[in-house]
Structure 1
Amino acid sequence: MKRILFASSETHPLIKTGGLADVAGSLPIALTGLGQDVRVIMPNYHDIKNCEPGRYLCTVRVNNCDVNLLETRLPESDVTVWLVDYPPFFGQPGNPYNDENGNPWPDIGDRFALFCRIVVEVAMNRAYLDWKPDVVHCNDWQTGLVPALLSLEDNRPSTVFTIHNMAYQGVFPSSTYTLLNLPGQLWHQDGLEYHGMLSFIKGGLSYSDRITTVSPTYAQEIQTPEFGYGLEGLLGHRQHELSGIINGIDLQVWNPETDQKIAQTYNSKTVAKKALNKTALQARLGLPVSAEIPMFGLIGRLVDQKGVDLVLSCLKEMARMPLQFALLGSGDTSIQVRLQDFARLYPEKISITIGYDENLAHQIEAGADMFLMPSRFEPCGLNQMYSQRYGTLPIVRKTGGLADTVVDALPQTLADGSATGFVFNDAVPGALMETIKRGLVLHANKQLWQKLQRNAMSKDFSWENSANQYLTLYHEI
């Protein structure tokens, strides 16, 4: 049995801004299910909810601050959560990175430096908890100083650093280094210094024993200038310690057989019943009701990263074809306005819902025939996995986790039963449009389509699968 300290700036369902929270809320539970002793450590934010209030454990002094450690647990699990309680930093309303008005916290560097210091004290068994981990698993830049600070310790635990998105790096002016009172021996170009500035993520990339990211393809991509954001050289240098492990999905929340949010439950044997979800969705969205017409869905942030501009370029041509399109999302205001214009022009074909609605998200996953996800980059992605589980075939660009989880429907993959969706290479509207047409051709063949749906629905996207891969990694180090 391994003792694992899992450090994260956010954890679902306590507090969430993105995919990191889903991993921190699921992977520790899956590892515990495999017999490991896992503790999650995160800041005690003002806006934490869905858990019992933390029980006081002890007070640890770091950098002239007295910091309390509180203990609670992940809901409906046996996983202990240690909350780093320091009200001057974490006691105001807002999310981990922004205040309640959406402005970045001005002292965000101080906040996460303090958090990292406490993680180190716990990891070295200096926090009166009588528990020392074998592995400290750090996530994203907010925990990047942990492997760096641990590198200065004797008899330290092993460290794993997971990159959820290379675009966020935690870079601060060099003066911050002095203000944070960090050890001088870490300030050099192979350490925390990055072009004269302080880089938190470099602490994780330079000092951790192993680096992981959330898909094998993304692990390759971040070693290139396009996706490495200036750190591709360092990642290339450490490629032998770098690997990709796909995130799992919550198989209880996303299960067409038991989903209470959809009109009609079904499984791979009763996939014909899926059509009832389409007609219910059409009725809800005010589209003409027809079980036969192919329906495309899209759920996501309306930003360039997600390739929504490619979809916008295709909508006019799509509106002239026998199909329907349902979108749910929010983001860039100009994108929202253009989408709503299309919905007004083609009310029989296009439905646009701005915002987020969990029930509607499930209904689109269950009701659509195909799901558009033409991302420019996608470290892992979840919706393409939800879609396959619901027998809704994803149309994705060959990047990151999309490339690793969707098998393109080609003559060979159709023959061997591995095809689960449609994949295109170039981030241009023409390539997306050709793939949509390819999907429509196959959709017209009912027998073949059901075979594709069953292929997709039989894939294993469980967290247990991912947890086993992490466990192998912990044992290797």
Structure 2
Amino acid sequence: MRIIYLSAECYPAAKVGGLADVVGSLPKYLNQLGHTCEVVIPKYDNQWIGSRKYETVHEGAFKMAEDEVEFSVLKMKENELGFPFYVIDIPGRLDRPGIYMDPLSGEGYWDELERFVSFQIAALEWIKDGEKDPDIIHCHDHHTGLVPFMLSKCNRYRSMSDIPTVLTVHNAEYHGVHELDNYKLLPAFNIDNVGLLDWDGRLNSLAAGLKTAWQTTTVSKNYMSELSENSNGLEMLFQQERQKSKGILNGIDTKVWDPASDELLEYNFSYRNRKQGKRKNKEYLCKEFGLNPDLPTISFIGRLVREKGADLLPDLFKQVLNSNLEVNFILLGTGDPQLHQTLSAMAGDHVGYFDATLEYNEQLAHQIYAGSDFILMPSRVEPCGLNQMFAMRYGTVPIVRSVGGLKDTVQDISEENGYGITFENFNLEAAADAIERAVELYKNSKEFSKVLSTIMKLDFSWKRSAGEYIDMYKALTTK
């Protein structure tokens, strides 16, 4: 099968969150299984994309409302990602340093809808002019959610209306909502179908994709069930579309995330020398942050935003550090400016026990996974979560709120064969209790060693999930 992935992100070319990791790894595994999976993203003006060599494979133009939009499709010459990788260049629209936000102002781009509508139309124009249609077009989140609608309803793409479409919802908190009158940006369609774009009186790109895609998926089974109860206003729609919905747990790229060969680590280690390797990396990490390596070290890596539970962290850290527990906290992330200020001040107040690096730093993230004893994920919403999988691959025990994909991937130590620390309620008391349990586990060296052995043997690779995707694709192509 030939599958085209349309996405706003793809690691390592352009990354904000877990969407990039999925789009940058799943296609590689599908190709290894004998399929042809290609990835198409916008050509942003960033260092990674700008440093690669490309060949132009298509040039074209289309009308978008009153504008004549010229575009080109470029294919990366080297196959370093393990799959054909394309970028769509639309000067003045996509060629900006940020994916969703201007890095200079910290604000979202004013013409978000025009940017991503033009990307989606350009992708369809290229596919339409190709010699052979793909077997599947797989869209990701609201940034490509209008593709299923355009394929099925726009006059210009009638010849491709029988191409099955899949929409994967990585995060249903974001819908791509704009004034309904913006439907005029799309190629002509029967106005009777405008209701498919409408949700609560506005154009909702994610809702349009859910209504018109042949198949919808989410990135964990538990998250799929949660969306019918909590999806930022789309609960009824997720209930209505349940028959064509499926939860498939994300995997991780076990070649990129391998402590034995990870070039970003100070000390490589494997399952066989896990205790020694963890200790060396912990000593290096704690030295970098001015912490005592003999204390349990708990880290948070991620965006400092509400959905990740980041607003709970300052009070949680203060409560624990002011108690009789001796513990190190390390934080790596960027997000809410007010949280930046609070966490920066805390680093000065708790020298030797807490430090924060308020930036995006991929190398440091790998070192934190390898050198920490625990990873903390107190998420309000977590569609799948990859950090807990990365952490366990590196022998770091997860402390997680049992929600979304965290519930699917972390089993509490109180259960038979359990290997993590979980808590149910999103509040200070529950999170602090989880940390106290983690410290008790750390002190019990025999049990802690047993958990370390268990988590490093868990298989979170894409092998299982890739098979589920292939079965789904085959079912769609035989309908």
Give TM-score scaled by structure 1 length.
0.90
Q: How far apart are residue 18 of structure 1 and its match?
A: 2.5
Aligned ranges 1:51-200 → 2 under 5 Å: 52-63=52-63, 65-72=69-76, 75-91=79-95, 93-99=96-102, 101=104, 102-123=106-127, 126-127=128-129, 129-152=130-153, 153=158, 156-185=162-191, 187-189=193-195, 191-200=196-205
1:259 to 254, 262, 272: 262
Q: How far apart are residue 122 of structure 1 and its match?
A: 4.2
Residue type at the aligned position of 2:235 = E
- In the alignment, structure 1 residue 204 sits paired with structure 2 residue 203: no
Q: Structure 1 residues 218 and 321, CA, compared in 2 at 3 Å: closer, same or farther?
A: same
- In the alignment, structure 1 residue 327 sits paired with structure 2 residue 331: yes
Aligned ranges 1:27-426 → 2 under 5 Å: 27-47=26-46, 49=49, 52-63=52-63, 65-72=69-76, 75-91=79-95, 93-99=96-102, 101=104, 102-123=106-127, 126-127=128-129, 129-152=130-153, 153=158, 156-185=162-191, 187-189=193-195, 191-224=196-229, 227-273=230-276, 274-290=278-294, 293-319=295-321, 320-410=324-414, 412-413=415-416, 417=417, 419-426=418-425
Secondary structure in structure 2 of the residue aligned to 1:167: coil
Residue type at the aligned position of 2:36 = D
Aligned ranges 1:15-30 → 2 under 5 Å: 15-30=14-29
Q: Distance in 1 between matches of 2:359 and 2:100?
A: 21
Q: Does the CA contact (< 8 Å) of 1:50 and 1:75 recur in 2?
A: no
* Segment drifting more, 381-390 vs 304-313: 304-313
Q: Does the CA contact (< 8 Å) of 2:271 and 2:453 recur in 1?
A: yes
Q: How far apart are residue 213 of structure 1 and its match?
A: 1.1
Q: Structure 1 residues 69 and 385, CA, compared in 2 at 3 Å: closer, same or farther?
A: same
Q: Structure 1 residues 234 and 52, CA, compared in 2 at 3 Å: closer, same or farther?
A: same
Q: How far apart are residue 27 of structure 1 and its match?
A: 1.5
Q: How far apart are residue 115 of structure 1 and its match?
A: 2.4
Match of 2:430 in 1: 431
Q: How far apart are residue 462 of structure 1 and its match?
A: 1.3
Q: Distance in 2 between matches of 1:50 and 1:28?
A: 22
Query: Unpaired segments of 5 or more residues in structure 1?
Result: none
Q: Structure 1 residues 457 and 60, CA, compared in 2 at 3 Å: closer, same or farther?
A: same
CA offsets, 1:22-73, max 9 Å, x none? 2222121111111101222223333361664332223344335443333225
Q: Distance in 2 between matches of 1:237 and 1:249?
A: 31
Q: Does the CA contact (< 8 Å) of 1:14 and 1:50 recur in 2?
A: no
Q: Distance in 1 between matches of 2:237 and 2:162?
A: 23
Secondary structure in structure 2 of the residue aligned to 1:35: coil
Query: Unpaired segments of 5 or more residues in structure 2?
Result: none
Residue type at the aligned position of 1:202 = A
Match of 1:451 in 2: 450
Q: Structure 1 residues 269 and 120, CA, compared in 2 at 3 Å: closer, same or farther?
A: same
Q: How far apart are residue 455 of structure 1 and its match?
A: 1.1
Match of 1:461 in 2: 460
Give the percent of matched residue pairs that are identical in Structure 1 and Structure 2.
35
Q: Structure 1 residues 136 and 447, CA, compared in 2 at 3 Å: closer, same or farther?
A: same
Q: Distance in 1 between matches of 2:292 and 2:89?
A: 54
Residue type at the aligned position of 2:27 = P
Q: Distance in 1 between matches of 2:29 and 2:79?
A: 14
Q: How far apart are residue 147 of structure 1 and its match?
A: 0.7
Q: Distance in 1 between matches of 2:78 and 2:201?
A: 40
Q: Structure 1 residues 96 and 348, CA, compared in 2 at 3 Å: closer, same or farther?
A: closer
Give TM-score scaled by structure 2 length.
0.90
Q: Distance in 2 between matches of 1:354 and 1:443?
A: 27
Q: Structure 1 residue runs of 4+, over 6 Å off? A: none
Q: Does the CA contact (< 8 Å) of 1:370 and 1:395 recur in 2?
A: yes
Q: Does the CA contact (< 8 Å) of 1:187 and 1:193 recur in 2?
A: no
Q: Distance in 1 between matches of 2:37 and 2:251?
A: 18
CA offsets, 1:281-335, max 9 Å, x none? 2222112343xx2221111222222223333223233223122222222222332
Q: How far apart are residue 438 of structure 1 and its match?
A: 1.5
Q: How far apart are residue 192 of structure 1 and its match?
A: 0.6
Q: How far apart are residue 94 of structure 1 and its match?
A: 2.4
Q: How far apart are residue 388 of structure 1 and its match?
A: 0.7
Q: Does the CA contact (< 8 Å) of 2:139 and 2:145 recur in 1?
A: yes
Secondary structure in structure 2 of the residue aligned to 1:49: helix
* Segment drifting more, 432-441 vs 50-59: 50-59
- Calculate the aligned-residue CA RMSD, in Å: 2.2
How many residues are paired up? 462
Q: Structure 1 residues 474 and 433, CA, compared in 2 at 3 Å: closer, same or farther?
A: same
